Amino acid sequence: MDIDKLLSMHPINCSLEVTPPSKGKGIKPVFETIKPFIEFKPLFVDVTYHYHKPGTLSIATAIKYKFGIETVPHIVCGGFTKEETENFLVELSYSEFESVMALRGDAPEGPPYMFTPKPNGFQYASELVEHIKNMNRGNYLNKEQEHRMPTNFCIGVGCYPEVHPESSSLLEDLKYFKLKQDLGASYAITQMFFEPEVYRSFISECREFGITLPIIPGIKVLSHPKQVEVLPQLFGCKIPKDLLEEVIRKQDDINSVKQWGVEHAVYQCEQLLKYGAPDLHFYVQNDPALTVEVMHRLAKR
């Protein structure tokens, strides 16, 4: 079922993102990450794509059939030609996936630190969204081929409540976000953030700009003091002053940091639900314990 339709079916929805294991390691840790969430009936599971961690399609397929959960593979622009991307989408269609996350992909960690598409590849997520929508209409790259079966993908995209690191302003960000909506995106998941008010303000800005699709907040439960330094560097998110000060104060006691991370995440989720969030999407990164604790506490509210 399409993700945008699932969002309207439950009062408190949750979903999660998992990552393929490093090359050569088994799939069991991924299954062990998902098992504790089954009692909460997650709407869907995202499976990320990484250049050095193959297996997105296989893992997404395994999750889908082992747990009976809607599974959403990530599709990225980087590292593929348009034809290779189209071929992968055809494989997903044959495997009966109904939803995909269309993303540009990260810039390289080393020089030149700028995203560069593969020759004859998609440069922007909006181009990828447009092509997937064209495939949904039966329009493939090879215009001469006849009787092409339309795909039927619900398209998810990313968005940035604290502005994409490469954008010059929120206005520029909103323009690109709306373009993705207008080209065929059905829902969006935000980059992680830690201040609930950021979401409320972002939703207001989006609605005023004509962006009407469901916007799902992305949530990360802090579990280590180093994360207050690393996460902003990697993802461009901001750590609220009270959260930062408390983590620094507790930094010599990892268990205390974890519990404070849980407390903050519960508060954040409660506020997000008050603000009308259609789903709570957790960036689990194959470490489910703290997120499961958050969900248990929310279930008692």
Measured CA to CA, the distance from residue 225 to residue 114 in angstroms comes to: 29
Residue 240 lies inside a defined structural domain of this protein: no
Question: 71 vs 23, 31, 48, 136, CA distance in Å?
Answer: 21, 13, 11, 19
In the chain, the number of structural domains is 1
Residue 248 lies inside a defined structural domain of this protein: no
Q: Among 33-47, 102-116, 172-186, 273-287, where is mean pLDDT lowest?
A: 102-116
Taking 50 as the threshold, does the pLDDT of residue 21 lie above it?
yes
Measured CA to CA, the distance from residue 116 to residue 114 in angstroms comes to: 6
Residue 261 lies inside a defined structural domain of this protein: no
Residue 258 lies inside a defined structural domain of this protein: no
Question: CATH number, domain at 160?
Answer: 3.20.20.220
Residue 95 lies inside a defined structural domain of this protein: yes
pLDDT tens per residue, range 208-259: 999 999 999 999 999 999 999 999 988 889 999 988 998 889 989 999 999 9
| Residue span of the structural domain in which 133 resides | 3-222+277-299
Residue 281 lies inside a defined structural domain of this protein: yes
pLDDT at 210: 98
Residue 38 lies inside a defined structural domain of this protein: yes
pLDDT tens per residue, range 169-204: 999 999 999 999 999 999 999 999 999 999 999 999
Which residues carry out catalysis?
17
Measured CA to CA, the distance from residue 244 to residue 261 in angstroms comes to: 10
74 — pLDDT class (breaks 50, 70, 90) = very high
| DSSP collapsed to 3 states, 133-175 | HHHHCCCCCCCCCCCCCCCCCEEEEEECCCCCCCCCCHHHHHH
Residue 227 lies inside a defined structural domain of this protein: no
pTM, two decimal places? 0.93
Measured CA to CA, the distance from residue 84 to residue 183 in angstroms comes to: 21
